[in-house]
Amino acid sequence: MKKAVFHDGEEQQGMEEVILSHDSQAMLYRVPWEVARDLESYCESFSAEWVWHGPEKEKFLREIGPGQQVAAYGAPDFIDYLNRWVFPERPCRLVKMLDFYGYDIPPEYQGTPHYNF
């Protein structure tokens, strides 16, 4: 497998960069290539299944009324899920906070997969 060279100049095999945000400052993460290449599916599965039905759902769910719940989570929770449950042998890491928000992606990051929770 070919090594990838990242925005910070580091090389690492089997990992790729993604941009994650949750209506806040965007963050550049290094994740397994499988996640980067299918980022939307991984994020939607986490949001629709894991948060509501996973073994740690109490961490995310809040009761807002009788029989009504809301989920509260963000990009760091998604990364924790990947690191602990999906790819513990290839942990993701925060590369850096970026100087933009959500979908306002500058040209140098246009080809980087991104997701806003």
**What pLDDT, in 10s, does the model give residues 46-102?**
999 999 999 999 999 999 999 999 999 999 999 999 999 999 999 999 999 999 986
Q: Residue 101: what pLDDT?
A: 84
Given a cut of 50, whether residue 2 has pLDDT beyond it is no
Among candidate residues 87, 117, 91, the one with its CA nearest the CA of residue 102: 117
Domain total of the chain: 1
Q: What are phi and psi of 75, to 5 degrees?
A: -55, -45
Q: Residue 8: what pLDDT?
A: 55
Percent of the chain with pLDDT over 70: 89
The pTM score is 0.86
Q: Could you list the residue range(s) of the whole structural domain that residue 108 is in? A: 3-116
> Sign (positive/negative) of CA torsion 5, 8, 11, 16?
negative
Answer yes or no: are the C-beta atoms of 26 and 47 closer than 8 Å: no
**Residue with token string 């991104």:** 114
Other C-beta atoms lying within 10 Å of the C-beta of residue 48: 11
Q: Residue 58: what pLDDT?
A: 96
Q: How far apart are CA 61 and CA 115, in angstroms?
A: 21
Q: Is 23 left (phi over 0), alpha (psi -120 to 50) or beta?
A: left
Q: Residue 1: what pLDDT?
A: 39
Q: Residue 113: what pLDDT?
A: 97
